[in-house]
Structure 1
């Protein structure tokens, strides 16, 4: 069986690599991709070669990391999934993939595919929130209402139960979406913020917003950096030292399978979460989609890719 994999072979240069899949191992599953996604913040900076944390990128390199698919075959020792089951996995823009049983997340038939796919970035956002460990009565400020920021607001509101969540976002459309996700107030960069916050989450990747966040946190408050830091260099301001703030980083998820158990139960109650996918394309048009993202023709929160 042939596998098509979208590879970044140079700056702004993609091609589909074709290869034969190996024999299936006893602890492996063969997955046919139904949908994947373009995580714009992470993937576009790689495509444009603009990631400030990766100034000498190696090529070729894989693209994408979020998949929802159907199990086509299973190895002899596989027990947790069966042929025909739906699963979430982490292999990127490929039409088929062989994955270890332990690396796939089973999905029940009643969970829409788009919502199931969001469990990956939801878990990544949740890890940062859990590191802060806010009290439901605390005030929390989140910068940047991209996918990670919106899912951080979602987890703060619906899992932790935080009542007062404010956000900073220059895009008025994204400020409106943030309120649907649970934000109390949504501010522009020029707005005057109301009061001080016990906790902050940096999801913008922009130094200006990070500076506002530091100035808005209370004495001895805590900030978690969830953004990749691939847009601009994030710098500590005088408030960090004067107020003796604590800053922690967070990457990847805390436990994808355990998180999915909560997320899949809860997400059915909040269909508005599908707003995150503001643009849809197909496998055949995926390379053109990257071009349009790069030249600014489209500017969605996240792209859904159908196979």
Structure 2
């Protein structure tokens, strides 16, 4: 079988490479891709060589990380799965993926792939929220209503049961979706946010201005979690951090993708607005052209759904 992989060979240079699928190890699965996604915040800085955390990128490099497909072959020691099962994995823009079974999330048949694909970033958002542990009556500020910010609002509202969640986001449509997902108030400008008002803050925009707005808005001894990748702006601390004796933590990847899915897949039935996060949809043969368009466009979609079959 031939595996086709979308590979970045240089700045803004993508190519489909073909390889014969290797033999499976005993603990591995072979997955035929049904759908994937472009994560705008993570993938475009790599494509454009603007990621401030990766100043000397090495090529060639694989692309993407969110994949949904069907198991077509299994290693002899794999348990808990069957051929034909639908699963989530982390092999990116490929038509076939070879993955460890213990790194794979089984998806119920009644969960549509456009919801299932959001489990990965929802789990990443959840990890950051769980580090802060906000309580029901605490006031929480989320900066940035991109995919990770919206999923943070969703988790705060529907898992943590936080009543007061405010969002700073300049984009009108994203603010509207934040309201639909449970935000109490949304603001388009940092000047609209009260100083020394919030117990917790979650930075999801990768913008240093938004980060400074979070610090300014925190109460004394408030806590902030940086959920954004940090690949856009370099952050630095302001006097608010020292004067208010704030605590800042970082969070990367998810706490447990399999366990998180048990909650998230049930919640998707109750919150159909989550599907609005996918503002664009393409087929896999349009991926290279899509990256070219995204690189040139000022109005980027929240997330792009990629269909393979």
Q: TM-score, normalised by structure 2?
A: 0.98
> Whole-Å Cα distance in 1 between the matches of residues 69 and 9 of structure 2?
26
Provide structure 2 residue ranges, at least 5 long, that are not aligned to the other structure: none
User: 1:25: how far off?
Assistant: 2.1
Residues 125 and 254, structure 2, Cα contact 8 Å, conserved in 1:
yes
> Whole-Å Cα distance in 1 between the matches of residues 267 and 60 of structure 2?
39
Q: What aligned pairs does 1:174-213 form with structure 2 within 5 A after superposition?
A: 174-194=174-194, 196-213=197-214
> Whole-Å Cα distance in 2 between the matches of residues 190 and 265 of structure 1?
35
1:159 maps to what in 2? 159
Residues 168 and 190, structure 2, Cα contact 8 Å, conserved in 1:
no
Q: What aligned pairs does 1:216-255 form with structure 2 within 5 A after superposition?
A: 216-255=217-256
User: 1:74: how far off?
Assistant: 1.3
Q: CA, structure 1 residues 190+213, in 2 after alignment: closer, same or farther (shift >3 Å)?
A: closer
- Aligned residue pairs total 307
Residues 189 and 209, structure 1, Cα contact 8 Å, conserved in 2:
no
Residues 190 and 210, structure 2, Cα contact 8 Å, conserved in 1:
no
> Which stretches of structure 1, 4 residues or longer, exceed 3 Å deviation after superposition?
none
Residues 67 and 88, structure 1, Cα contact 8 Å, conserved in 2:
yes
Provide structure 1 residue ranges, at least 5 long, that are not aligned to the other structure: none
Deviations 1:29-49 (A, max 9, x none): 110000000000000000000
> Whole-Å Cα distance in 1 between the matches of residues 66 and 155 of structure 2?
19
Q: TM-score, normalised by structure 1?
A: 0.98
Q: What aligned pairs does 1:22-171 form with structure 2 within 5 A after superposition?
A: 22-171=22-171
Deviations 1:13-36 (A, max 9, x none): 000010001112222111000000
Residues 292 and 298, structure 1, Cα contact 8 Å, conserved in 2:
no
Indicate the RMSD between aligned Cα atoms, in angstroms.
1.0
Deviates more, 1:219-228 or 1:293-302: 293-302
Residues 6 and 93, structure 1, Cα contact 8 Å, conserved in 2:
yes
User: 1:194: how far off?
Assistant: 4.1
2:279 maps to what in 1? 278
